[in-house]
């Protein structure tokens, strides 16, 4: 398991040469542009919501306590920082899921193109490219809703344990990271499996390859932590996941 995990992580180091070898740069640039747009819109919305919430909460508090009438009052500023910081952290927790969902159709085409250039296996789209794009989005939406509900439940439990038992932070913080990594890796691996396995068999395959799934997510998360790396992380994770799907998935061409 450890060997499989490390092998998947090291595969991220080979992605640059893979992009050059198979001429996949157009997908990288498209994904970078879309990721930048999504990032800008998402955090503009978050900051606007944050400002509105801060105003509502501080107005409410100041109606009850006269000592916070001054905008420069410590408690007024503290409540604003607390609300803004909490909302920002919460949005960071789920931004990766939104980014994955919105980029999934493009990543599906990247995965398909890479697989074709590497193996010669050409996928025929009987319904046309738009129908395939729609199918990919619907499958990713279904998976995202499933994963977010499970991921949020686990993270909430770990967070509560951290608050109740602060000394457990040494365990809960790495576990929260691992949970996020596993579920985002789950999504990218499913993108690469949708041409070979239906939804249920895709879930089964991923559960049987937890080490690779976790490592795809860790690679994605580590790239994201660099800041600018979040723009290329989806494409890199897709390429690594596609390699795993090519090597290990049964050649079942059912997509849904």
When mean pLDDT is compared across 59-68, 142-151, 177-186, the lowest value belongs to 59-68
Positions of E strands within 6-66: none
In this structure, of 2-11, 63-72, 225-234, 244-253, the range with the lowest mean pLDDT score is: 63-72
> Do 224 and 230 touch, CB atoms closer than 8 A?
yes
Q: 104-157, pLDDT tens digit by residue?
A: 989 998 999 999 999 888 776 656 667 777 888 888 899 999 999 999 999 999
Taking the C-alpha atoms of residue 165 and residue 159, their distance in angstroms, rounded to an integer, is 10
**Cα distance between residue 150 and residue 200, in whole Å:** 17
Residues of the chain above pLDDT 70, percent: 86
More confident residue, 251 or 4: 4
What distance separates the 2 farthest-apart alpha carbons in the chain?
A: 73
What 3 state SS string does 50-92 have?
HHHHHHHHHHHHHHHCHHHCCCCCHHHHHHHHHHHHHHHHHHH
Q: What is the pLDDT of residue 73?
A: 60
- pLDDT higher at 216 or 48: 216
Q: Are 206 and 190 in contact (CB under 8 A)?
A: yes
Question: Could you tell me which residues come within 8 angstroms of residue 62 by beta carbon, excluding any fewer than 6 positions away?
Answer: 68, 69, 76
Query: pTM for the full model?
Result: 0.84
Residue 154: what are its φ and ψ, rounded to 5°? -65, -45
Tell me how far apart the alpha carbons of residues 213 and 244 are, in angstroms, rounded to a whole number: 9
């Amino acid at each position: 398991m450890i060997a499989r995990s490390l092998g998947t992580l090291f595969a991220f180091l080979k992605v640059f040469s893979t992009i050059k070898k198979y001429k996949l740069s157009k997908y990288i640039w498209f994904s970078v542009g879309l990721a930048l747009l999504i990032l800008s819109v998402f955090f503009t919305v978050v900051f606007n919501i944050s400002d509105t919430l801060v105003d509502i909460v501080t107005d409410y508090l100041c109606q009850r306590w006269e000592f916070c009438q001054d905008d420069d009052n410590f408690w007024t500023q503290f409540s604003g920082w607390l609300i803004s910081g909490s909302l920002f952290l919460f949005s960071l927790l789920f931004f990766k899921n939104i980014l994955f969902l919105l980029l999934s159709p493009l990543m599906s085409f990247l995965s398909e193109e890479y697989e074709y250039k590497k193996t010669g296996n050409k996928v025929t789209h009987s319904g046309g490219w738009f129908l395939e794009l729609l199918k990919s989005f619907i499958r990713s939406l279904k998976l995202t809703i499933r994963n977010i509900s499970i991921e949020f439940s686990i993270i909430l439990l770990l967070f509560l344990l951290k608050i109740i038992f602060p000394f457990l932070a040494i365990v809960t913080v790495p576990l929260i990271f691992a949970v996020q990594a596993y579920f985002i890796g789950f999504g990218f691996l499913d993108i690469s499996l949708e041409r070979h396995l239906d939804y249920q068999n895709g879930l089964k395959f991923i559960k049987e390859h937890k080490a690779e799934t976790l490592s795809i997510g860790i690679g994605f998360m580590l790239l994201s932590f660099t800041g600018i790396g979040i723009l290329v992380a989806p494409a890199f994770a897709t390429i690594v996941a596609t390699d795993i799907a090519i090597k290990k998935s049964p050649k079942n061409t059912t997509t849904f």
